[in-house]
């Protein structure tokens, strides 16, 4: 605590946020005409671990499906800025989030542990102090750590502020009148423009004052929020979701431009990923936090380096949320977590950058959701699980069988990309093998015993309900 007080920058950030709030006008940057970053390759990636100037800018776009981004092959032009910015980085083509519910998925993303091993599976669960979060490790390594968020599930009261020097909601500015939103409560909680403006203010004031880890958790896609200019895809739920991605992409364009403007593009690793996707009645289910099919668990994982790689590098290997931080730690030359369900994907990145064949490190990936996450703690858990293996995906949903037993499904993603044709009865051996993997993962427990719990007050519950969550 002493050392924190001796440093002046957290107070500069606070001052910056206040100034921002007073001004309540957007800081606008024109996108750079040219990318100022040098050309780089495999050697430069390896050298990142020895550099003492590399920052991490981590953007989490809540509720963002991979297959709705241009760079992942979507036909609509939802994401021109993201597509452009990461075109000279690396795109992970098949990336699974560990859950379809923010809190559980984020706990796994930060700790590199599956939900059964974080113990964070229900609404009263808190990330344990014993869990080692990236902000803690980076602060120890000399980074200044700043998190800006709007989603109540990742509030400090749930343990998500561990290691952050500053962990705050962005001050809400006057909202752009052309912004529309499905959710009328948005006028109380602001928009991602607030979050990004606060992040930019941090970069401006303090971006060159030593190394930083800046985490921004964006929520406008979750809220289906967009402005008139982005409303170009029609009026269905799914169309509005696309418009919201387009709007968010514009917000990120401002952030990327600021990075360049402040001369930080040449020493910052940029990450864009998501906590889960969103369903649009592909199989009768809407929204997220209800099941773990492909539409709510296949998310983007995009990396950009302080230099430009050859355009269009793609890593086809199956990856998952628990791999993200082992990969970043490896890039930075930091030790991998002692306890981890994830794998560093640095070997795949190096292979892609040097034009070598990507190593055949196909692994299983695991996602789960406790369907009873929002129910009283006395109610017995009902766990939905998914295991992917290559193009195959096995799912088990409790109580959904004909006679109330668990329903098992098996999909062949290669020949059935929408994953609608259940092949479980035709492939009993494959089902048996993937079922065993699911069961083994379900048996894992936190090394610290169990997740701490806390009472959630009615006010906080109402704030969470306002996000659209059906908490009784
Ligand atoms: Zn979420």
Q: How far is the CA of 124 from the centre of ligand 1 (A)?
A: 16
The structural domains of the chain, ordered by start, are 12-354 (3.40.720.10), 365-466 (3.30.1120.10)
Q: Which of 404, 469, 403, 381 is nearest to 183 (CA)?
A: 469
Q: How far is the CA of 368 from the centre of ligand 1 (A)?
A: 14
Question: Sign of the CA dihedral 133, 134, 137, 139?
Answer: negative
Question: What does residue 86 show for φ and ψ, rounded to 5 degrees?
Answer: -95, 5
pLDDT tens for each residue of the chain, 472 residues long: 334 334 444 544 555 554 444 444 444 444 445 678 999 999 999 999 999 999 999 999 999 999 999 999 999 999 999 999 999 999 999 999 999 999 999 999 999 999 999 999 999 999 999 999 999 999 999 999 999 999 989 999 999 999 999 999 988 877 777 787 655 555 567 899 999 999 999 999 999 999 999 999 999 999 999 999 999 999 999 999 999 999 999 999 999 999 999 999 999 999 999 999 999 999 999 999 999 999 999 999 999 999 999 999 999 999 999 999 999 999 999 999 889 999 999 999 999 999 999 987 767 999 999 999 988 888 899 999 999 998 999 999 999 988 999 999 999 999 999 999 999 999 999 999 999 999 999 999 988 888 888 888 888 888 778 777 767 6
Q: How far is the CA of 29 from the centre of ligand 1 (A)?
A: 28
pTM for the model: 0.91
* 343-345-349 Cα angle (round to 5): 175
Q: How far is the CA of 289 from the centre of ligand 1 (A)?
A: 8
Q: How far is the CA of 452 from the centre of ligand 1 (A)?
A: 21
- Cα–Cα distance measured from residue 251 to residue 28, given in angstroms and rounded to the nearest whole number: 10
Q: How far is the CA of 295 from the centre of ligand 1 (A)?
A: 13
- Cα–Cα distance measured from residue 6 to residue 394, given in angstroms and rounded to the nearest whole number: 53
Question: What does residue 19 show for φ and ψ, rounded to 5 degrees?
Answer: -55, -45
Q: What is the DSSP string of 225-259?
A: EEEGGG--S-SSHHHHHHHHHHHHHHHHHHHHHHH
Q: How far is the CA of 373 from the centre of ligand 1 (A)?
A: 14
Q: How far is the CA of 170 from the centre of ligand 1 (A)?
A: 18
Q: How far is the CA of 62 from the centre of ligand 1 (A)?
A: 5
Beta-strand runs (E) in 290-433: 301-304, 313-320, 365-370, 383-389, 392-397, 407-412
* 464-468-472 Cα angle (round to 5): 65
b/e per residue 436-467 (b: at least 16 CB within 10 A)? ebbeebbebebeeeebbeeebeeeebebbebb
DSSP code of residue 130: T
CA distances from 168 to 172, 217, 293, 425 (A): 12, 11, 32, 50
Please list the residues that pair with 130 across neighbouring strands: none
Q: How far is the CA of 56 from the centre of ligand 1 (A)?
A: 21
Q: Which of 304, 315, 309 is nearest to 349 (CA)?
A: 315
Neighbours of 287 (CB within 10 A): 18
Q: How far is the CA of 58 from the centre of ligand 1 (A)?
A: 15
Beta-strand runs (E) in 274-423: 279-280, 286-287, 301-304, 313-320, 365-370, 383-389, 392-397, 407-412
β-pairing verdict for 166-169 and 90-96: unpaired
What pLDDT is stored for residue 29 in this prediction? 43
What pLDDT is stored for residue 23 in this prediction? 40
Q: How far is the CA of 218 from the centre of ligand 1 (A)?
A: 9
Contact partners, residue 443, CB within 8 Å, separation at least 6? 116
Q: How far is the CA of 273 from the centre of ligand 1 (A)?
A: 11
Q: How far is the CA of 470 from the centre of ligand 1 (A)?
A: 14
Q: How far is the CA of 60 from the centre of ligand 1 (A)?
A: 9
Q: How far is the CA of 43 from the centre of ligand 1 (A)?
A: 36
- Cα–Cα distance measured from residue 63 to residue 279, given in angstroms and rounded to the nearest whole number: 10
Q: How far is the CA of 226 from the centre of ligand 1 (A)?
A: 18
Q: How far is the CA of 353 from the centre of ligand 1 (A)?
A: 32
């Amino acid at each position: 605590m002493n050392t924190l007080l001796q440093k002046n920058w957290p107070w500069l950030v606070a001052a910056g946020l206040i100034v921002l709030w007073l001004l309540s006008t957007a800081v606008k940057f024109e996108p750079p005409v040219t990318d100022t970053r040098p050309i780089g390759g495999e050697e430069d990636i390896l050298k990142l671990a020895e550099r003492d100037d590399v920052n991490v800018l981590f953007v989490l776009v809540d509720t963002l499906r991979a297959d709705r981004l241009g760079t992942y092959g979507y036909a609509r032009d939802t994401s021109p800025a993201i597509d452009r910015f990461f075109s000279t980085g690396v795109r992970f083509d098949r990336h699974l989030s560990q859950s379809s519910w923010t809190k559980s998925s984020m706990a796994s993303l930060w700790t590199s542990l599956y939900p059964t091993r974080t113990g964070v599976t229900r609404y009263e669960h808190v990330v344990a102090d014993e869990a080692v979060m990236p902000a803690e490790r980076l602060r120890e390594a000399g980074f200044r750590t700043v998190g800006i968020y709007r989603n109540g599930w990742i509030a400090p009261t749930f343990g998500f502020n561990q290691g952050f020097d500053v962990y705050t909601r962005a001050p809400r500015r006057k909202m752009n009148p052309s912004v529309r939103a499905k959710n009328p409560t948005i006028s109380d909680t602001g928009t991602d423009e607030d979050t990004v403006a606060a992040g930019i203010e941090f970069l401006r004031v303090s971006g060159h004052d030593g190394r930083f880890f800046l985490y921004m958790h964006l929520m406008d896609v979750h809220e289906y929020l967009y402005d008139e200019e982005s409303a170009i895809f029609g009026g269905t739920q799914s169309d509005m979701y696309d418009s919201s991605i387009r709007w968010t992409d514009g917000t990120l364009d401002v952030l990327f431009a600021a990075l360049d403007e402040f001369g930080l593009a040449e020493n910052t690793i940029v990450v864009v990923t998501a906590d889960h996707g969103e369903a649009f009645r592909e199989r009768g289910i809407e929204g997220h936090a209800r099941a773990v099919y492909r539409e709510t668990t296949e998310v983007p994982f995009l990396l950009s380096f302080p230099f430009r790689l050859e355009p269009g590098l793609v890593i086809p290997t199956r990856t998952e949320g628990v791999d993200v931080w082992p990969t970043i730690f490896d890039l930075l030359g930091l030790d991998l977590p002692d306890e981890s369900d994830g794998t560093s994907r640095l070997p795949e990145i190096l292979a892609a950058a040097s034009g070598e064949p990507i190593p055949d490190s196909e692994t299983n990936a695991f996602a789960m959701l406790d369907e009873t996450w929002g129910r009283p703690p006395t109610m017995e858990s009902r766990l939905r699980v998914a295991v992917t293996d290559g193009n195959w995906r096995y799912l088990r949903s409790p109580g959904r069988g004909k006679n109330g037993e668990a329903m098992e499904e098996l999909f062949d993603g290669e020949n059935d990309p929408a994953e609608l044709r259940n092949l479980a009865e035709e492939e009993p051996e494959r089902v048996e093998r993937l079922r065993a993997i699911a069961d083994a993962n379900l048996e894992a427990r936190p090394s610290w015993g169990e997740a701490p719990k806390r009472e959630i007050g009615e006010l906080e519950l109402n704030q969470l309900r306002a996000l659209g969550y059906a908490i009784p």
